[in-house]
Amino acid sequence: MGSPSLLPLETPSPAHICPFDQACSYLEQAARELQMDQGLLLILSNPRKVITVSIPVKLDSGEVQVLAGHRVQHSDVLGPYKGGIRYHPDVTLREVSALAMLMTWKCALLGIPYGGAKGGIALAPARYSAGELERITRRYTSELIKDIGPEVDIPAPDMGTSAREMAWMMDTYSVNVGHAVPGVVTGKPISIGGSRGRELATGRGVMITVREALAERGKSLVGARVVIQGFGNVGSGAALLLHKAGAKILAVSTGSGGIFTEAGLDIPSLKAYTAQNLKSLAGFPGAVPITNAQLLTLPCDVLIPAALENQITEENANQIQASIVAEAANGPVTLIADQALEARGVTVLPDILTNAGGVVVSYLEWVQGLSYVFWDEERVNREMEALMVQAYRQVTEQSKARQIPLRLAAYTLGVGRVAQALTDRGLYP
C-alpha cells in the first residue's frame, strides 16, 4: 500500500481479504496509469466523512438490542454523496468504506453528478420482524438526519434493503424536517416519487453490459449459456431480462445453495415459485440442487456473481470455465483472482460498470423528482440504456487505447474525472 489510510481498524473484515485495502489497490493502479500526483492520491484514498451510530431497538419480545450503523461519505467532489444501505451480518466499517469509494468511481464513470457513499448495519434481516426492521431503519435514519438530504447525501437500496426501507427513511427524514422530502432517497415506491424501471434497473444494466460484450465478440444473447450466483434484486432481475432476451440460464443460487438444469431454467416460473416459498429455490421442478462452489465453476459462456464480494478468489479462479465474468455484485472477484482470470484470457466486466444501472436510474429518479415531471418506463429504460452503452464503449476504447484490462480502464476513467474535478476546484483553504 503506497498511500496511508486514515480509516480506523477496529472493525476488521471477517474474511481474510480486506475490501478497503483491495479498493485502495485498484485506486493506486489507476493513479499509476494516470501518473497522478501523490497528494491527489492521498486525498482520494481517504473517505471524507466516516459516521458510526448506535441504534438501540426494542424487539417484539421486549428485549433491547444495540446495533452499529455506518455511513461512509467518500467524496462529494462531483455532487451529493450517493450510495446504498446494506443490511447483512458481515457488514463492517471497512467494507462500507470500500463500497463508498467504489460508488465515487462508478458515478464518475457513468457521467452522473454524484459523489460516492455507502451505509450499512450488521444484521441478518431474516431474523427480525417487519416491525423491528422498521424501528431499526427509522432510528438509523434519525441518527443520520444532519448528514443526509437531497443535496447532501442520498441513500438507496442495497443488499438486504428495498423500496420498503427507503419509504421508511423518506418518511422519518420528512417528519423530522417538517415537510415531505422525496428526494432524500432513491429506489423508493412509485407512490411517493419513485421511478418506473428502478426495481429492475441494476439487472437491466447487467443485461446490457453482457449483451454489448457478447456483441463485440460477434456473439448474441440468444442461446448464450449463463450462470448466476444470487437470486435477489440484482440476480433475479438480470436472470429475468437475460431469459427474455433469449439466453439460457443454467443455474442460479441463494445463500442456502442453488439449482441447475442443462436445459435452462424457466425464470418467470422460478420467480413465482420463490415468491411462494420464502425465497427458497429448493424443490423447483426439473432442476437439481447444486452448491454455490459448484455453481461458480460450471461450464458456461457468462458467469454472473450477483451476491457478495470475494466469491472468486485465488482458490477457485483457475477452475472458472466461463469466458466472461460479469461482476453484478460489488467486488465479487478478488485482486489476485482478477489477475489469474486475466492471465487465462477470461474477460472480467468490472462492477463499477456492470452494476451501474441501479445508480443511473436512481439519478433519473432524482432528476424526475426535482423537476416534478415523471416519465413512463420506456423513457427511463431508454435514457438508462444510452448512459450504460456510452460508458461501456468508453471503457472498451480506453482499454484498447492504453492496452489495459477493462477494470483498470474503468478505474482510470472514473478516478481521472474525480481527480480532474478536484484539481479544478482546488484544495480548501
The residues annotated with a catalytic role in the active site are 118
User: Interface with ligand NAD includes 233 (CB under 6 A)?
Assistant: yes
Residue among 45, 254, 313, 399 that touches ligand NAD (CB under 6 A) = 254
Which residue type is seen at 173? Y
Give the per-residue contact string, 306-325, with ligand NAD (x = CB under 6 A; - = no).
xxx-----------------
Which residue type is seen at 428? Y
Contact region for ligand NAD (CB under 6 A) — 73-81, 141-149, 207-215, 326-334? 326-334
CB of 28 to ligand NAD, least distance (A): 23
Q: Write the burial class of residue 264 (CB in 10 Å: 0-12 exposed, 13-18 middle, 19+ buried).
A: middle
Give the per-residue contact string, 107-146, with ligand NAD (x = CB under 6 A; - = no).
----------------------------------------
User: Interface with ligand NAD includes 303 (CB under 6 A)?
Assistant: no
Residue among 47, 80, 115, 157 that touches ligand NAD (CB under 6 A) = 157
CB of 281 to ligand NAD, least distance (A): 9
User: Interface with ligand NAD includes 160 (CB under 6 A)?
Assistant: yes
Sheet holding 153-157, edge to edge: 49-58, 64-75, 116-121, 81-87, 153-157
Q: Write the burial class of residue 243 (CB in 10 Å: 0-12 exposed, 13-18 middle, 19+ buried).
A: buried
User: Interface with ligand NAD includes 253 (CB under 6 A)?
Assistant: yes
Contact region for ligand NAD (CB under 6 A) — 54-62, 232-240, 366-374, 380-388? 232-240
CB of 195 to ligand NAD, least distance (A): 12
CB of 155 to ligand NAD, least distance (A): 12
412-416 contacts at long range (C-beta below 8 A, 24 or more positions apart): 412/30, 412/33, 412/34, 413/108, 413/109, 414/30, 414/104, 414/105, 414/106, 414/107, 414/108, 414/109, 414/352, 415/27, 415/30, 415/31, 415/34, 415/36, 415/44, 415/105, 415/108, 416/30, 416/34
- Closer Cβ to ligand NAD, 176 or 269, answer by number: 269
Strand 257-260 to strand 288-290: parallel, antiparallel, or no bridges (unpaired)? antiparallel
Give the per-residue contact string, 282-301, with ligand NAD (x = CB under 6 A; - = no).
----------x---------
Closest-by-Cβ residue to ligand NAD is 232
CA 99 to chain centre: 8
* Residue 269: closest CA among 243, 242, 238: 243
Q: How many residues bind ligand NAD (CB under 6 A)?
A: 24
Residue among 119, 155, 197, 358 that touches ligand NAD (CB under 6 A) = 358
Residue among 92, 202, 368, 381 that touches ligand NAD (CB under 6 A) = 202
CB of 51 to ligand NAD, least distance (A): 19
Q: How far apart are CA 80 and CA 86, in angstroms?
A: 19
Contact 424, 77 (CB under 8 A): no
Q: How far apart are CA 132 and CA 182, in angstroms?
A: 23
Residue 263, C-alpha cell as written in the block: 436445459
Residue among 134, 158, 301, 365 that touches ligand NAD (CB under 6 A) = 158
Q: Write b or e for each residue in 372-383: b if 16 or more Cβ atoms lie within 10 A of its Cβ, otherwise e.
A: eeebeeeebbeb
CA 68 to chain centre: 21
CB of 355 to ligand NAD, least distance (A): 4
Binding residues for ligand NAD, per CB under 6 A? 157-160, 202, 229-235, 253-255, 292, 306-308, 328-330, 355, 358
